[in-house]
Amino acid sequence: MCRSVKPSLTSITSAYRVGMSESMSDEEKRHDQLTRAPKSSESDAAPRIRVSTAPSGATRIDVAETAAVRPGNPDKQNG
């Protein structure tokens, strides 16, 4: 017996995203991934780090002042 199987909306959406992700930049992929969750907002995709390169060629990575979560011990940061 052969049954007809209809593709689910999830599989269609996943296939679309796979095809779409090939034409997206890394920044667009990051934004898409971070804003895909049901309760996410644009602020979830905000940059959390700043990367700069000194004239000597050294790369510096700083946590952005606007980052909601920062590394380290939160109890010692404010006092």
How confident is the prediction for the chain on average, in pLDDT? 76
Using CA atoms, how far residue 73 sits from 38, 44, 68, 76, 78, in Å, is 30, 22, 14, 6, 10
Enclosing domain of residue 50: 10-35+45-69
In a domain, 2, yes or no: no
In a domain, 30, yes or no: yes
Residue 44 per-residue DSSP state: G
In a domain, 78, yes or no: no
Element (H, E) at 18: helix 9-21
What pTM does this model have?
0.46
For residue 19, what pLDDT band results from cuts at 50, 70 and 90? Answer: low
Residue 21 has pLDDT above 70, yes or no: no
Q: What integer is the mean pLDDT of 48-61?
A: 92
How far apart are alpha carbons 27 and 31 in whole angstroms? 6
Please, are residues 52 and 59 in contact by the beta-carbon 8 Å criterion?
yes
Looking at the 3D structure of the chain, how many domains does it have? 1
